[in-house]
Amino acid sequence: VRFIFFYDLKMFRTDAQENRTSPRNVEGNIDVINIDVVCEIEKELQDSPDDVISLVFLLYDVPDTALQRLIVYQRVSGDIISTNLNLLHEWVQGAKSRPSWKHEFLEALLICQLYGIVKKLGFHVPSLKKHYQPDNLYVNMHINPMKKALYRVCENIDSDNLARLKRTLRNYKIDTMEFDTCELILLKLMSEKFISMTQIQYDKKVLGCEFKVDKLVKILEKLRGLEDLGKELRLLQSRNSEEPAPEIPVATSTPLSPPSDLSHIKPLDHPVMTPNDFSDIFAMMDDLKIEDEVHLKSDTKNMGRDKYAIKNPNRIGVCLIINQEDFCLSEKSIEDDTLTTVLSKRNGSTADKMVLKTTMTSLNFEVVIGENLNYSDMIDFIKDTIRDKVKSTDSIFMLCILSHGVRGHVYAADCVKVNVEDIQGILDSDEASQLRGIPKVLIIQACQVDDTPPSTLVADSPYDNGKKNRYYLKKSDFLIYWATAPQYEAFRDELSGSIFIQLLCKAIQKCGRREHLFDIFTLVNNGVQVLCTEKKCLQVPLFESTLRKKLYLQIPDVRAALVDEKGHVVNVAVKETQTWNPKVDFYEQSSNNIWSCCVSVIKDIIANVNPALVKGIGFDATCSLVALDRNCNPISVNNTNDNDHNIIMWMDHRAQAEADFINKTDHEILKYVGGKVSLEMEMPKLLWLKKHLPHKWEEFGYFFDLPDFLTWKATGSFNRSLCSLVCKWNYECSSDGKQGWNEEFLREIGLADLIEDNFKVIGNKILMPGELCGGLSEETASILGLIPGLPVATSIIDAHAGGLGMIGTYAKGIDADMSSRIGLICGTSTCHMAVNEKAVLVQGIWGPYFSAMVPNMWLNEAGQSASGMLLDYIISSHPAGFELLKTKSTGDVRSHLRGLLTNMAQVQGLSDIGFLTKDIHVWPDFHGNRSPLADPNMRGMITGLSLNSSEENLALLYLATLQALSYGTRHIIDALIRAGYKPFKSLLICGGITKDPLFVQTQADAVYLPILRPHEQDSVLVGSAILGACASQYFSHVQDAIQKMGGSADIIQPNARPKAFHDKKYKVFQRMFQDQLKYKSIMNENA
């Protein structure tokens, strides 16, 4: 009885009863099989739905019937109660009239290797296998041998090839995407007569079968790992026809292995490195200095004609990314038998796609993504993007293609080659006339090995349309960057992405705001070759150009705006500035050039304005260091005598060693800059000048922050701005009332000589932003065409001008007190800014900084790292999001998710969308916590995950992430209030993500405060204008100017219904980070 599981004792024999069944007594034992036994076996297989599907596939005679039954079975197989649909019982009812039905069933059990069941039936498995020969495709017992061969395909196909098979069949207008198993797909093909097995009868006797599987064979022979199975099917078909069979080893039951001779397979893929080959190459990439061994001089001296213009710095243009990761076979390439190349899945390409998207978005490109596009879809996608997305104000069009490739070609997802010159033709055609005159950059991650297949494989030109005439390929204004040169391969890591794309994005992120693309590409060429040489793999990137000018992704410029008393921008003018890059990490400008540009743009915006109507001037700028000699003339900041090079730019990194030296002092004053001085701040740069230019040090007469230099040029006043000095010069303005230069600090870092003559060199009269710095000098007024003595305000840093420009935004019914508001500037990360009349030290939050943004008020800065990037990651990493992004932009996907959430809430009868996430909770610090924990080692957490991969599940996860980011804002607010801030009464919000109404509403609901979204977009220019208005005393006081010129805003009120719900979720949120700390503590015990 120990062998009785779910069966009646009478139905099975014990081992003692088995008697080693031999072929001659199979007939005698076969009677143990009856309809009741079959039903009991089906019950036992209830937990093995794949086995049931296989048996149905082998046993059912009519494919349509089997398919219909299995479609239902597949849908309910996850429900244990509903799984038993009596599919085998139904088969017995139809087959029991045949004397052989029991043999069919027993043979099917052997083919499916259900040996345990066969033994329970009392049979000796080895003897039975000799009798039925289930592994021999050329022995026809009771199961159709072609079905045995097809079943072998089902057993050997992996998930990647199954997905590729589905996509290939879609090219034949056969949709199998809903099927989870290969058996259902094959039954569908039988139903559609794509494959057939027809019995040959004569006088009611079956003489044999005629098989037609040619189309399937051609597909299988192109799928890596299934080539031999395809040949088996072809041989089986040929043995049943008059066609001669190709020579092939007879198949056995031995598991299939790839053919030993792979010489016919060309290495057209990006070669995939093994973990041993590539284990540390990306770590090397992080350590690799982009500029190692390359010393370039990027002379960006601007005469206005040697570079392409950036028409709108806020929108550079469109970046179209086509990511071909999964490949299928086109009907044409299969039927013509022209494709001999095996195109494997390009694992790791998603990492390249995401880094490209992040990099180009940060440079103000509109990024459009297409994935796994067939040839015709790829061509249409390029054309549609140009037609629908490109604007007349765009400055650059960029197309990035990530795919397999051969020389001069890339592959579409249906394995059709696309000639890159044909793509150039599309971009240069009449249909793309809006691209004429602007640079078109093609970045191609693909191999360029030689290709030898027949030319018929190349698809017709996308713009021939059957006509002889082709578009004329002007090829002007093109820059094409290949991952590798002809005859070379391009290497890709299956997890981290390709060397080329990852290093390119790293270089653009570091240098894209200051270098032209030729120099950036040269740096990448060097980096790729350094890495590949280390790993002994041959890859040499190559770029080809017909550009007529230098191409910058961003160009330094001077902007001026005429702003009215209500904060409306009336007119704007822009002029590019000069920048020099004499060697690695050195970036210099000319104060004469910048001032000349200022004069030019100011004259432009007031050309038709009565000078008497201009009431004041405000300046903001980046924190670059300006050097003048003792006679107030420019003096060089390098070893040359070219005194035009007298500014060390904010992004100059020459002073790394000096910054490290200062930080080692651990001076108390450093706590106001996060504990460390940055090499982009001014004290390290001053120390570099003293150390590396000792012969010039005595010649330096004055050092200015660039904003202060501009006010000096306008007025002749040597006054300095407290904003610049506190934030970038380590000027002391502490919460205990100390204010001034810290002599002890200057002596300790070796700059005691700056103390001489009452700090004359670095400034001894310090004013707050907006205070009157001085009147416009007669000389400057004459040049500008303005009235002498026109009030000029003390300056401000450009970023702080942006905060100032929106903090006074007006909204009806909302408290205008600036200390009652907290501002959120949302981008790739989120910055939280709050001001207070008193200094408040807050653990984990920068500051307080006195008058750094609003005069006479203390500023605290907090933030969330990679918050915007997290939302993109949640969408793109989810299976449903991955599919949606193939056809929709990120913005469209978010809109789609909002619609799903609304519908889900309605169906469930919920009064608020927020209630949908009761069981899903997220801790959002996937990239560390900036505030208020100040712990870069914190990591993201999600609870409530299931096996659901639907769009609805993605919508819930997206909503839970929005809520988590909002609870992060609440966490920061709580920290500010605990430290001494009064409760806030509103949030002020700006940035790209604020276009998502669900994000804004969720922030309002989670913190239970109204949100103000300003109407004016260019807050930096408004901020400077506010300073000018303050200095002119046009308004009675600073706060009045801020509020009157802050403009208006939309108000988003919080919903009261979900308040208690968010309070509970916030408790979970707080518990999550505490739990994470406990996990770390446990894992670090005794470590």
- State which of 786, 806, 839 marks the end of a domain: 786
Q: Are residues 89 and 163 in the same domain?
A: no
DSSP 910: -
Which residue type sits at 5? F
pLDDT digits (tens, 9 = 90+) for 546-597: 887 777 776 667 889 999 998 888 888 888 788 887 887 788 999 999 999 9
Place of tokens 């592994």: 135
Q: How many structural domains is the chain composed of? A: 5
Please tell me the predicted confidence (pLDDT) of residue 1043. 82
**Exposed, middle or buried, 755 (CB in 10 Å: 0-12/13-18/19+)?**
middle
- State which of 195, 224, 251 marks the end of a domain: 251
CA dihedral 485, 488, 493, 497 (to 10 degrees): 20
Higher pLDDT, 251 or 981: 981
Q: Are residues 122 and 167 in the same domain?
A: no
pLDDT at residue 866 greater than cutoff 80: no
Please tell me the predicted confidence (pLDDT) of residue 756. 93
Q: Is 418 helix (H, G, I), strand (E, B) or coil?
A: strand
Taking the C-alpha atoms of residue 406 and residue 486, their distance in angstroms, rounded to an integer, is 8
Sign of CA dihedral 687, 693, 694, 697: negative
Assess contact for 587 and 581: CB atoms under 8 A.
yes
Q: What is the mean pLDDT of the chain?
A: 82
Q: Comparing C-alpha atoms, which of 690, 767, 672, 658 is closest to residue 728? A: 672
**Is 310 inside any structural domain?**
no
* 347 φ/ψ angles, rounded to the nearest 5 degrees: -60, 140
Instruction: Give the CB-side neighbour count of residue 923, counting CA atoms within 13 A.
Output: 21
- Helix boundaries (H) for 371-498: 375-389, 420-427
CA 2 to chain centre: 58
Taking the C-alpha atoms of residue 1022 and residue 568, their distance in angstroms, rounded to an integer, is 8
Q: Are residues 129 and 161 in the same domain?
A: no
**Is 35 inside any structural domain?**
yes
Please tell me the predicted confidence (pLDDT) of residue 992. 65
Residue 699 confidence class, pLDDT cut points 50, 70, 90: very high
pLDDT at residue 1000 greater than cutoff 50: yes
User: Which residues have C-beta within 8 Å of that of residue 455, sequence separation ≥ 6?
Assistant: none
Please tell me the predicted confidence (pLDDT) of residue 985. 95
pLDDT at residue 755 greater than cutoff 80: yes
Q: Comparing C-alpha atoms, which of 149, 180, 143, 145 is closest to residue 55? A: 143
Taking the C-alpha atoms of residue 1021 and residue 1028, their distance in angstroms, rounded to an integer, is 11
Please tell me the predicted confidence (pLDDT) of residue 21. 45
Taking the C-alpha atoms of residue 877 and residue 869, their distance in angstroms, rounded to an integer, is 12
Least confident of 418-422, 488-492, 748-752, 876-880: 488-492
**Is 917 inside any structural domain?**
yes
Taking the C-alpha atoms of residue 728 and residue 795, their distance in angstroms, rounded to an integer, is 14
Cα distance between the two ends of the chain: 53
Range of the domain at 515: 317-450+457-545
Assess contact for 634 and 627: CB atoms under 8 A.
yes
Instruction: Provide the CATH number for the domain around residue 953.
Output: 1.20.58.2240
109's tokens: 């059990």
**Is 323 inside any structural domain?**
yes
525's tokens: 């060429």
Please tell me the predicted confidence (pLDDT) of residue 208. 56
Span 219-240, average pLDDT? 81
Please tell me the predicted confidence (pLDDT) of residue 269. 40
Q: Are residues 368 and 497 in the same domain?
A: yes
Span 81-96, average pLDDT? 77
Q: Are residues 81 and 116 in the same domain?
A: yes
Which residue type sits at 988? L
Q: Are residues 616 and 705 in the same domain?
A: yes
**Is 278 inside any structural domain?**
no
pLDDT digits (tens, 9 = 90+) for 390-439: 998 899 999 999 999 888 899 998 888 899 989 988 998 888 888 988 89
Least confident of 298-312, 980-994, 1039-1053: 298-312
**Is 158 inside any structural domain?**
yes
Span 694-705, average pLDDT? 94
pLDDT digits (tens, 9 = 90+) for 937-993: 789 999 999 999 999 999 999 999 999 999 999 999 999 999 999 999 999 887 667
Assess contact for 1016 and 806: CB atoms under 8 A.
yes
Residue 713 confidence class, pLDDT cut points 50, 70, 90: very high
Assess contact for 802 and 967: CB atoms under 8 A.
no
Q: Is 837 helix (H, G, I), strand (E, B) or coil?
A: coil
Q: Are residues 334 and 193 in the same domain?
A: no
Please tell me the predicted confidence (pLDDT) of residue 555. 64
pLDDT at residue 1010 greater than cutoff 50: yes
Please tell me the predicted confidence (pLDDT) of residue 451. 59
pLDDT digits (tens, 9 = 90+) for 467-493: 333 333 356 788 889 888 887 788 888
- State which of 251, 282, 309 marks the end of a domain: 251
Instruction: Provide the CATH number for the domain around residue 640.
Output: 3.30.420.40
The percent of residues in the chain predicted with pLDDT above 70, rounded, is 84
Q: Are residues 380 and 522 in the same domain?
A: yes
How many DSSP H helices and E strands does the chain contain? Answer: 40, 36
Assess contact for 374 and 171: CB atoms under 8 A.
yes
Q: Comparing C-alpha atoms, which of 992, 980, 880, 866 is closest to residue 924? A: 866
Q: Which of 107-111, 455-459, 1002-1006, 1048-1052 holds the top average pLDDT?
A: 1002-1006
**Is 117 inside any structural domain?**
yes
Taking the C-alpha atoms of residue 552 and residue 828, their distance in angstroms, rounded to an integer, is 22
Please tell me the predicted confidence (pLDDT) of residue 303. 33
Q: Are residues 540 and 631 in the same domain?
A: no
pLDDT at residue 301 greater than cutoff 50: no
Please tell me the predicted confidence (pLDDT) of residue 475. 63
pLDDT digits (tens, 9 = 90+) for 154-175: 999 988 888 888 888 888 888 8
Which residue type sits at 870? L
User: Which residues have C-beta within 8 Å of that of residue 1051, sequence separation ≥ 6?
Assistant: 811, 812, 813, 814, 1010, 1011, 1012
pLDDT at residue 691 greater than cutoff 90: yes
pLDDT at residue 176 greater than cutoff 60: yes
What length does the chain have?
A: 1087
Instruction: Provide the CATH number for the domain around residue 488.
Output: 3.40.50.1460
The percent of residues in the chain predicted with pLDDT above 90, rounded, is 38
Taking the C-alpha atoms of residue 954 and residue 904, their distance in angstroms, rounded to an integer, is 12
Q: Give how far Cα 407 sits from Cα of 324, 480, 634, Å.
A: 17, 14, 53
Q: Are residues 234 and 377 in the same domain?
A: no
Q: Are residues 445 and 337 in the same domain?
A: yes
Assess contact for 865 and 930: CB atoms under 8 A.
yes
Q: Are residues 520 and 610 in the same domain?
A: no
**Is 579 inside any structural domain?**
no
Please tell me the predicted confidence (pLDDT) of residue 217. 86
